Amino acid sequence: MIDDAKEEQSFRNIANEEVTVDIVKDEIEDVTEEAVEELKAPSRKLRLAVAGCAHGEMDKIYEVLAEIEKEKGYKFDLLICCGDYQSVRNYGDLHHMHVSEKYRSLQTFYKYYSGEKEAPILTIFVGGNHEASGYLSELPNGGWVAPKIYYMGFANVIRFAGLRIAGLSGIFNGKEFNRGHYERPPYSDRSEVISSYHVRNTDVWRLKQLRPADDDYTSVSFHCFPALYVHIFSFKNPIDIMVTHDWPAGIVDYGDKQLLLRIKPFFYADIESGKLGNPSTMQLLFVSFFIIT
């Protein structure tokens, strides 16, 4: 386990990443004079903060972001949380969350649900394997769980400031992958609480249907067999940001594998056997498609 200080420092490092995109604001209301001048500019840097497992600690996360904003002199536009968000509204939600008894705690999300506090930054998240599953089951296609806090559902795509952000909730389980979402709260037993957060093939399939703009790909046709033509389309990936809780299988080959194994040596066997992560989601990161006529 990584201690809290290291987790906070890691979060700070990720939160400082910046992406440049064009932002257009049609209406400017109830903002300061300084903000008006910034929004009038044709383009500026879009600042995204990314958090790993929130575990309901929204007060702590927003406090860290506020410190960074004060130190750097800018504001974050969006916070992306990558699962284990734990949108627990009350003690009843704890019964639908798969965690050990010692971790059954309200934490601080309930303050934002009740209206006691409001999220200072627009926040989006996907589900993980430690969630208030009963509550999230009410929003299978995504929705607002609190003002300015949006759950992306089983699988979803949103546009933000010109970026196409896709989200996939849950973790992979081979036994459940080709089944539908059959679980309905109140869950009859513990097994349904667990299976409710397993990724389904239909959710991955939905994201695979994404296509780029008409002018954002090239097409090549060739005669493969008599009366059979194969058109291969190559284009920029239609997803700008892919958000998951479960790693795509093989993703460790694109990062510092040795550092990962020093921190989590128990991953070694799964990495070597190809069992670490979801075997179906890497296809969402490297997209091409075939049309056979």
**Domain assignment present for 197:** yes
pLDDT at residue number 260: 93
Q: How far, in Å, CA of 33 to CA of 44, rounded?
A: 17
User: Is 273 domain-assigned?
Assistant: no
What are 234-253's pLDDT values in tens digits? 556 788 999 999 999 999 99
Confidence check: pLDDT of 196 > 80:
yes
* pLDDT of res. 293: 30
In the chain, the largest separation of any two C-alpha atoms, in whole Å, equals 68
pTM over 0.85: no
Which of helix, strand or coil describes residue 191?
helix
104 falls within a domain: yes
Identify any residues that bridge with 53 across adjacent strands, giving them in sequence order: none
pLDDT at 188: 77
Residue 199 lies in a domain: yes
* Among 134, 119, 41, CA closest to 87: 134
Interatomic CA distance for residues 68 and 81, integer angstroms: 17
Into how many domains does the chain fold? 1
Interatomic CA distance for residues 223 and 27, integer angstroms: 53
Q: Which of residues 136 and 227 earns the better pLDDT score?
A: 136
Position with higher pLDDT, 5 vs 70: 70
| Domain containing residue 103 | 4-211+241-246
Number of helices (H), then strands (E), belonging to the chain: the values are 9, 12
What is the spatial distance between Cα 175 and Cα 65, in angstroms, rounded to a whole number?
39
Whether the bond between 186 and the residue before it is cis, its omega within 30 degrees of 0, is yes
Mean pLDDT, residues 220-229: 46
Render pLDDT for 258-282 as a digit per residue (tens, 0 to 9): 999 999 999 999 999 988 999 999 8
**Tens of pLDDT along 58-83?**
999 999 999 999 999 999 999 999 99
Burial category of 205 from C-beta neighbours within 10 Å (exposed 0-12, middle 13-18, buried 19 and up): exposed
Q: Is 266 contained in some domain?
A: no
Residue 177 lies in a domain: yes
Q: How far apart are CA 85 and CA 89, in angstroms?
A: 12
Q: Which residues pair with 231 in a beta bridge?
A: 221, 291
Answer yes or no: is 39 within a domain. Answer: yes
Token match 């089983």: residue? 154
In the beta sheet, which residues pair with residue 143? 151
Q: Is residue 269 part of a domain?
A: no
